[in-house]
Chain A
């Protein structure tokens, strides 16, 4: 009975797998020709071929596409470098500073003979990567402060931090993005304006900080009490105790869940589409608006899924390898 069930299951799985391969590969059209695509019963990857520039770079000036391309490669390289335990040294901050300066010069231009490109024209993959990078870079310190504040002995500080964290975690990201895009201009004095990209970035930072704070708090809670007591016995003050003894250990414990939060955040940046920013998902949606190419949404979004999957899967594998190789954290307890 069990054998028959297994066989049946295998047959169904193989059949569905075959149907998919047949559609996605064997009968697929790779030429960028909408007429051929409409005549075919297979997938139309020609759409991606035709629109790959728009999807990857948005409305960035066509002749300058090498700049966001190079910037994306640089940014991914920086991420990969930071994943390497050997580089977890203060020097890493300098490397990042240099890397981000180079990316800034590449993207904006205006120096070294590169034409200036305003950030309204940035789009595609680089925007997704930049929103993630800067979002995490600013949200992380803010999250640490919030986590420390939540565990503070000062009731007022604690209350403010708890209120902030719970408020942000209790509402959807969209409402925070809406708030930033329509309310932020109202909050600022007359004459001061913040562009759309920066508004979305601020919203993402404020949102991510609340979630990172909870992860860091988890790490802080895992620190045995005697670590605090020993630090007190040595006569260390609050800041020395926190930054030399407690935080380094807490962050080390919290690395795997932090990576998971980063994956979630990377996925969440796709929501900026709703407030009209041209991230990777948004450029794909725009590409579909071309009347010649309407009706290939399935292929387009499968492609989007694949791109996001590659990034997220790599990060989740990394997080898992950290978890299994986390010998340093085990010895702490």
Chain B
């Protein structure tokens, strides 16, 4: 009875929305369907990971570039955030009061400020505090820090100052660096809490017993504490990885061409909002489900 009502309500609401949408699309002469994907995009993309792209390529290609950029920043962010978060998470366990204080302060500050504010802050810092290319900072020979990005030598060549900017070698745009730094530092604070809680959850007796067996401290950590702590750590860690990936969509606010940013441009150009948002949602849902599945699998193996 209740179910029937719920079903009827749901179907009625869905039908109403679909009907309205179709009528509105008709009235505004907006095309529907995914045919636009094969049309020429006509806009340039600042940077492209793995794929070569030009303005003459299709919308589908542009979105693929956006997706690749999302993956690039999310994967690197996950690696950095995990390393940093683990290090900071272990600080409160140290007997050193200064280290403990630093760790706690870091966590408290980062967690209580919106990520978007932090991204704007890092972006402002990278464009205002770093010098222009002509006065570039060079912390290592061949590596240049400027307000136009970071330049470094690769196997194919080294960066050289030409006109107002560097060319040759490898480079990272300020947008990419900002997003990567912002996401890593932000997520690291959350991961640190998870790691700390995970290690604290290991009963004291396990430490004592392992030491009583004569194991060295690092072996105690590696073979006794870590396997036990990981069981507690992995499920919340997974959701942090998902959060980081979803948060990478804030790229649109600082101009890094991730999937959401490109989809947004696509929507503005074609007017096909429903398809554009459907693509964004489908991609993120797929990523979410895939990461969850992967982590469940690794969690099952640990047990």
Residues of A that sit less than 8 Å from B by CB: 6, 9-10, 13, 154-157, 160, 167, 169-175, 178-179, 182-183, 185-190, 263, 267-268, 270-271, 273-274, 281, 285, 295-298, 300-302, 304-305, 308-309, 312-313, 316
| Cα–Cα distance between A316 and B121 once the two chains are bound (Å) | 23
B267 within 8 A of A: yes
Knowing A154-B2, A175-B249, A187-B17, the reply to whether A305 touches B121 (Cβ < 8 A) is yes
B252 at the interface (CB under 8 A from A): yes
- CB pair A175–B277 under 8 Å, yes or no, is yes
Shortest Cβ distance from A292 into chain B, in angstroms? 16
Q: Pick from A172, A263, A297: contact of B246, CB below 8 A.
A: A172
Quick one: closest A residue to B112, CB to CB?
A312
- Bound-state CA distance A304–B112 (Å) is 12
User: Per-position contact with A for B5-32: 1 when CB-CB < 8 Å, else 0?
Assistant: 0110010000001001101110100000
The complex places the Cα of A302 from the Cα of B289 at a distance, in Å, of 36
Instruction: Using CB atoms, name the residue of chain B closest to A187.
Output: B17
Chain B residues closer than 8 Å to A175, beta-carbon distance: 249, 260, 277, 280-281, 284
Closest to A152 in B: B2
Rank and list the top 3 A-B pairs by shortest CB-CB distance, nearest first. Answer: A297-B124, A312-B112, A301-B121
Residues of B within 8 A of A173 (CB): 246
When the two chains form the complex, which single residue of A9, A156, A300 contacts B99, counting CB atoms closer than 8 Å? A9
CB-defined contacts of B285 to chain A, threshold 8 Å: 167, 170-171
A174→B17 CA distance, assembly (Å): 22
Instruction: Given A171-B284, A190-B24, decide whether A182 and B277 contact each other with a Cβ distance below 8 A.
Output: yes
Q: What residues on B are CB-neighbors of A281 within 8 Å?
A: 114, 116-117, 120
Knowing A170-B285, A186-B24, A309-B112, the reply to whether A298 touches B96 (Cβ < 8 A) is: no
Q: Are A270 and B114 in contact (CB under 8 A)?
A: yes
Which residues of B from 229 to 268 have beta carbons under 8 Å from A? Answer: 242, 246-247, 249-250, 252-253, 260, 264, 267
| Closest CB in chain B relative to A119 CB, distance in Å | 22
Contact with A along B129-140 (1 / 0, CB 8 A): 100000000000
Chain A residue, CB-CB nearest to B245: A172
Task: Kindly list chain A residues whose C-beta atoms are within 8 Å of the C-beta of B108.
Answer: 313, 316
Q: In chain A, what residue has the closest Cβ to B264?
A: A178
Q: Could you tell me the distance between the alpha carbons of A201 and B277 in the complex, rounded to whole angstroms? A: 18
**Distance between A318 CB and nearest chain B CB, rounded to angstroms:** 12
Distance, CA A154 to CA B1, complexed state (A): 10
B268-303 interface with A by 8 A CB criterion: 273-274, 277, 280-281, 284-285, 288-289
Chain B residues, Cβ within 8 Å of A154: 2-3, 6
Closest CB in chain B relative to A6 CB, distance in Å: 6
In the complex, what distance in Å separates the CA atom of A259 from the CA atom of B247? Answer: 21
Q: Does B51 contact A (CB under 8 A)?
A: no
**Is B125's CB within 8 Å of the partner chain A?**
yes
User: A274 touching B17 by the CB < 8 A rule?
Assistant: no
Closest residue of chain B to A314 (Cβ to Cβ) is: B112
In angstroms, how far is the closest chain A Cβ from the Cβ of B101?
A: 9
Residues of A within 8 A of B249 (CB): 172, 174-175
Q: Is the CB of A298 within 8 A of B264?
A: no
Q: Is the CB of B277 within 8 A of A305?
A: no
CB-based contact B284/A10 at 8 Å: no
Interface residues of B (CB under 8 A from A): 2-3, 6-7, 10, 17, 20-21, 23-25, 27, 96, 98-99, 102, 108-109, 111-118, 120-121, 123-125, 127-129, 242, 246-247, 249-250, 252-253, 260, 264, 267, 273-274, 277, 280-281, 284-285, 288-289
Q: How distant is the Cα of A309 from the Cα of B189 in the complex, in angstroms?
A: 15
Q: B117 contacts A186, CB within 8 Å?
A: no
Determine whether the beta carbon of B117 is less than 8 Å from that of A305.
yes
B113 touches A312 (CB 8 A): yes
Residue of A273, A296, A297, A298 near B253 (CB, 8 A) is: A273
Which secondary structure dominates chain A's binding surface? helix
Residue pairs across A and B with Cβ atoms less than 8 A apart, 23 shown, are A13-B98, A13-B102, A157-B6, A160-B10, A172-B247, A174-B249, A174-B250, A175-B284, A186-B25, A186-B274, A188-B20, A189-B23, A190-B27, A270-B114, A270-B116, A281-B120, A297-B120, A297-B123, A297-B125, A301-B120, A304-B117, A312-B113, A316-B108
Closest to A310 in B: B112
CB B236 to nearest CB in A, in angstroms, measures: 12
Within 8 Å by CB of B274, from A169, A183, A308, lies A183
Residues A157 and B112 in contact in the complex (CB < 8 Å), given A182-B273, A186-B20: no
Q: How far is B21's CA from A175's CA once the two chains are assembled, in angstroms?
A: 18
Are A182 and B267 neighbours in the complex by a CB distance under 8 Å?
A: yes
CA distance A312 to B260 in the complex (A): 28
Establish whether residues A267 and B113, one from each chain, have CB atoms under 8 Å apart when the complex forms. Answer: yes
Known A-B contacts A178-B277, A308-B112; the reply to A295 vs B2 at CB < 8 A is: no
Residue pair B117, A301 in contact (C-beta under 8 Å): yes
CA distance A298 to B99 in the complex (A): 27
Q: In whole angstroms, how far apart are the Cα atoms of A51 and B289 in the complex?
A: 45
Beyond A298-B124, A312-B113, 12 additional pairs, beta carbon < 8 A: A9-B98, A156-B6, A167-B285, A171-B285, A175-B281, A178-B267, A183-B274, A267-B115, A297-B128, A298-B128, A308-B113, A309-B112
Contact between B252 and A298, CB atoms less than 8 A apart: no
Distance in angstroms from B28 CB to nearest chain A CB is 8
Please name all residues of chain A whose beta carbon is closer than 8 Å to the beta carbon of B274 when the two chains form the complex: 183, 186
